Chain A
Amino acid sequence: MSALLEIDHVSRSFGGLRAVNDVSFTVGEGEIVSIIGPNGAGKTTLFNVISGLFPPSSGDVRFCGKSLVGMPTHRIAQSGIGRTYQVVRPFIRLSVIDNVAVGALAHAPNYRTARKVAAEILDMVEIGHLAETPASSLTLTQRKRVEIARALATRPKLLLLDEVMAGLNPTEVDRMCGFILGLREHGIAAVGSIEHLMRFVMKISDRIIVLDFGRKIAEGTPKEIASHPDVIAAYFGSPLET
């Protein structure tokens, strides 16, 4: 598998706080990678650096071999990185289909085509019937779907899913799992950040990266991670010395 995304010794500081500290990893085409770690581990910061909301303090991010550092946000999106936000932020005064059409405009030549593309994607995420509803009157689950549909509409090669499971009930989590696994069939790689729900992470990830206080403390297959002593320490604390 050739590397689609390369995170190369990336650090990001806010004042004295090193939110992301010398993190490196790669994501291959069509791969599903989960970034896990407790609250404040630097997951969202890392996503913000990748999608260009702010530059890394040091290090490099490469996508398809090209550096993304200094590239404007919209160019990064157009080059094939879609993302969703932890706190979903639909365009609330726009209809659901227009929300998704905004993403489709990254490639569609005009509004009409963009809406056509959007309608197809809405059917794919099973909210086609809500197309003309204003996004303000959706439930959280529906909003999450709009968020994903919007990102998919930009035709990403890589989808960054920030805490996509947060706030979903177990049934919804299962459906979301099925959906993320379905991305692979479309050749879309996914990097998801997740705090809890190890069951889900173990089930769908090709690879897991563990962050703690901004540092990468482990990387491996779900099996390797489950028995990794540093991970166990980060999540459950060090074993008591007796």
Chain B
Amino acid sequence: MTQRTLGITILALLFLGAVAIPFTGNGYILSLFYTSALFTGLAYGWNIISGYAGYLSFGQITFFGIGAYIVAIGTTRFHAPWYLCALVAGVFCAALAVPMGWLMLRLKGPFFALGMLGLAQSLRISTDLIPWTGGADGIYLPPGSNGVQVYYWTLAVLILAIVLTATIDRNAFGLRLRALREDERAAGTLGVDTTTTKVKAFILSAIIPALLGGGYAWYLTYVEPSSIYSTEIELQTVAMAILGGMGTLWGPFVGGILMSQISQALSTKFPQTHLMIFGALVVALLLALPRGIVPTVVDKLQGKRKPPEPEPAPLAQTEVVT
């Protein structure tokens, strides 16, 4: 069996397994897999702007939150079906990401990361203060929540995110993203329209959490600012994507599934201290695998097959500037 057919077989089995989960009729298992699909999907969304384009964001939860609130408000005030509201949320966040990205992506490195964090926090506080969002009391969604529906929705968004990433991984847009991640100025002088390229990446990284947030509101049946614009969800997503391997196709998948399962097992076993243990685990894994799981494993596998490079990494900085 070639590597490719093996890979496709594994993916097909995983897919069938994921589709079959609701048929177990076990609510706990469904919630486990829902959470994994949700976090993995969020990690994929984050990976485009932060992994491929290199703009580390601590604020993509903003779009998740907006998605959740659009569904909450749409279903309670306008009695619209939740999935329609979630689709509207995707479109709305795509549109919102254009001016927001254009503005925020002028910030570089830590300034962008902090700027996005600030944006998410200010939105959370605004939601607290504005009456028609339910303020700090939140909104109870109308009855009819259906975990299976939301699970399939989330699974569909996750698959969309994977297909999208697989495309980006092998196309011109993805190459431009990786180039500007490495050196934005050099990319510009090679004809890459860096502003447009990164705003496009930002749009994609806004649509995915918006769609997922929409489902999340319907799943929880209740939204309130601090549990929706949740720093905990944001940081876990970021940790998963980084641990799996930023800017790789399978990094968010491995990191998302693995860490969300571990995190859930920990929170059942150690309800008081699970975040502390999770944090320690993240630190330990990052020390052991600084580039993430997927790149390290890929290197190990390729190292066995390929002979070592004849001329290994000398002098980048030793150039004599005469």
Contacts and interface: CB of A to CB of B under 8 A. Distances in A.
A114 interface: yes
B175 A101 contact: yes
Interface string B281-317: 0000000000000000000000000000101111110
Contact of A102 (B190, B319, B320, B321): B190
B176 A105 contact: yes
A205 B191 CA distance: 27
A94 B179 contact: yes
A30 B242 CA distance: 49
Contacts, number: 113
A167 B179 contact: no
A89 B322 contact: no
Given A86-B321, A91-B183, A166-B320, A102 B189 contact: no
A67 interface: no
A88 interface: yes
A194 to B, nearest CB: 9
Contacts of B315: 139-140
Contacts of A151: 190
Given A91-B178, A93-B178, A137-B312, A73 B188 contact: yes
A196 interface: yes
A154 interface: yes
Interface of A: 51-53, 72-78, 82-83, 85-89, 91-94, 98, 101-103, 105-106, 108, 110-111, 114, 133, 136-140, 142-143, 150-151, 153-154, 163, 166-167, 195-196
Contacts of A102: 175-176, 179, 187, 190, 192
Given A105-B192, A110-B171, A139-B311, 18 more contacts: A74-B190, A74-B192, A74-B194, A82-B190, A93-B178, A98-B178, A105-B172, A105-B176, A105-B191, A108-B172, A110-B172, A111-B175, A114-B172, A136-B316, A137-B309, A139-B314, A140-B316, A154-B191
Contact of B179 (A52, A86, A91, A143): A91
A111 B183 contact: no
Nearest to A76: B189
A51 B189 contact: yes
A73 B176 CA distance: 15
Contact of A91 (B170, B186, B314, B322): B186
A195 B321 CA distance: 10
A137 B186 contact: no
Nearest to A101: B175
Contacts of B309: 133, 137
B137 to A, nearest CB: 48
Contact of B193 (A74, A86, A133, A163): A74
Nearest to A80: B191
Interface in B218-245: none
21 contacts: A52-B189, A72-B188, A72-B193, A74-B189, A74-B194, A77-B188, A82-B189, A83-B189, A89-B185, A102-B175, A108-B172, A111-B174, A137-B311, A137-B313, A143-B316, A150-B190, A151-B190, A154-B190, A163-B322, A166-B322, A167-B321
A196 B320 CA distance: 12
A110 B167 CA distance: 12
Closest 8 CB pairs of A and B: A106-B191, A91-B182, A73-B188, A77-B191, A102-B179, A103-B190, A167-B319, A111-B172
Contacts of A77: 188-191
Given A91-B179, A166-B319, A196-B322, A73 B189 contact: yes
Contacts of B193: 72, 74-75
Nearest to A196: B322
B190 A106 contact: yes
A89 B191 CA distance: 15
A198 B319 CA distance: 20
Interface centre among B182, B186, B188, B192 (most CB of A within 10 A): B186
